[in-house]
Amino acid sequence: MILPIVLSRFSEIALKSRNTRTALRRLLRHNVLTALRISGLPFDRIEDTWERLIIYSSASERVAETISKVFGIVSTSPAIECKAEINKISETVSEMARQKLRQGDRFAIRVRRVGKHEFTTNQIARTCGSSVIEIAKKAGIQVTVDLDSPDYEFFVEVRAERCFIYYLVIRGVGGLPIGSQGKIVSRLSDYESIIATWLIMKRGCTPILAVFDKKERVEELMSLTKSVLLPYVLGKLQIVVMPLAEVIRKTDSNSLRKYLEYLAMNDIALLEGAEGIVTSERTDPSKVDQMETLRQYGAVVGFPVFYPLVGLDEENLKHLAKSIGERKLASKIGEKAGTLMTRCGGAKPDVTCGLDSSLREYREKIREIVLIAVEEAHT
């Protein structure tokens, strides 16, 4: 029996210990199932094997494209499953080739075999290649084998008594399944913040976005954020919006503003049970001691602070934005988005200013704003 399926592969998960790998595979399966249910695409079932996730679906190409955006999946392929019998394999490859090849096309047969069989890997390749040429002749077209630069590659994976045949490999996002590493608060202050959040999601974290301004001032930023991140987050994107700008703009100290924003993120993390904080800070080659500045700002909070963009320039960021699949985001890199925090640099913060009575006054006000904003985010 020939069945349309989707092969989904993982790589980093396979490097873990047996118990960890089992737990991550279970979570990955859950995330794939969630992505399929959100998409509304038809599927019959998901088979979880030690090496692959196999999705049985009549819409295999669309399913393969959809789940390639699930963190933890390194690649997907719409495929056909048949019995591991050389005649069945040859017939299936020939039929797939008949639908794809045109006059003058060059093709290659790539075979991978696991287990003991009555045939060798080379026998499969030769038999399938001969069958493809023969069926092409019957259709009145001429095709040739070219192992170095083919127009089409037909892949044959033989595993025990099963065989999977495909011609397309869709690159996935890789990383770890989202939800495997807990929650993290990400400051949404500019378009680069979207990339910083995406990168921390790739490491398995569930983001809580913190916006320190009124919605109308950052409407375009929030719209693009949802457009980019929703396909990856597998559900509702949690955003905590607070008019912190109205309080912070009353200060004339940039260090104090940053200090208060870090403390606001600290409060959100405490209330939400998060395990860290992410910002989109980058270094400026024209300034010195910036890593020390970042260290001192991070020292005022009780959580690890991550800077996934700290060593990247604008060209690196634009390349990342395009690889995520959002050209509009790439065009926005470097633009201001109407929020507060500036790039690191300038005077170092005075972390002892937390004892100052005026700062204490700001601190209480910010705590009240954060508490209200978090409550509103859950309604």
In this prediction, residue 268 has a pLDDT band, given cuts at 50, 70 and 90, of very high
CB-based contact 67:55 (threshold 8 Å): yes
Return the residue matching tokens 């989707």. Answer: 6
CB-based contact 27:177 (threshold 8 Å): yes
What is the mean pLDDT of the segment spanning 5-17? 90
Name the domain count of the chain: 2
In 3D space, the residue among 118, 319, 98, 337 whose CA is nearest the CA of residue 224 turns out to be 337
CB-based contact 263:182 (threshold 8 Å): no
Query: For the chain, how far is it from start to end, CA to CA, in angstroms?
Result: 50
Return the residue matching tokens 């060593």. Answer: 311
- Give the DSSP letter of residue 113: E
- What pLDDT is recorded for position 358? 55
- Give the DSSP letter of residue 190: S
Q: What is the mean pLDDT of the chain?
A: 87
Please say whether the dihedral angle defined by the alpha carbons of residues 21, 26, 29 and 30, taken in this order, is positive or negative.
Answer: negative
User: What residues have CB less than 8 Å from 107, skipping those under 6 apart?
Assistant: 97, 101, 129, 132, 143, 144, 145, 146, 150, 151, 152, 153, 154
Is residue 362's pLDDT more than 80? no
Domain-ending residue, one of 149, 171, 193 = 171
The range of the structural domain enclosing residue 195 comes to 183-377
230 found inside a domain:
yes
In this prediction, residue 329 has a pLDDT band, given cuts at 50, 70 and 90, of confident
154 and 265: one domain?
A: no
176 found inside a domain:
no
Is residue 59's pLDDT more than 80? yes
- Give the DSSP letter of residue 144: E
67 found inside a domain:
yes
- What pLDDT is recorded for position 305? 93
Return the percentage of the chain with pLDDT > 70, whole number: 88
Could you report the per-residue pLDDT of 308-326, keeping only the tens digit for each? 998 888 888 988 988 887 6
- What pLDDT is recorded for position 340? 44
> Looking at residue 127, which CATH number applies to its domain?
3.30.2130.30
CB-based contact 321:328 (threshold 8 Å): no
144 found inside a domain:
yes
| Least confident among 56-65, 216-225, 249-258, 343-352 | 343-352
Q: CA geometry: angle at 98 spanning 96 and 100, to 5°?
A: 75
Q: Report helix, strand or coil for 324.
A: helix
* CA–CA dist 264, 304 (Å, integer): 14
- What pLDDT is recorded for position 354? 44
CB-based contact 80:164 (threshold 8 Å): yes
Q: What is the pTM of this model?
A: 0.87
177 found inside a domain:
no
Is residue 217's pLDDT more than 50? yes
Is residue 346's pLDDT more than 60? no
Is residue 256's pLDDT more than 90? no
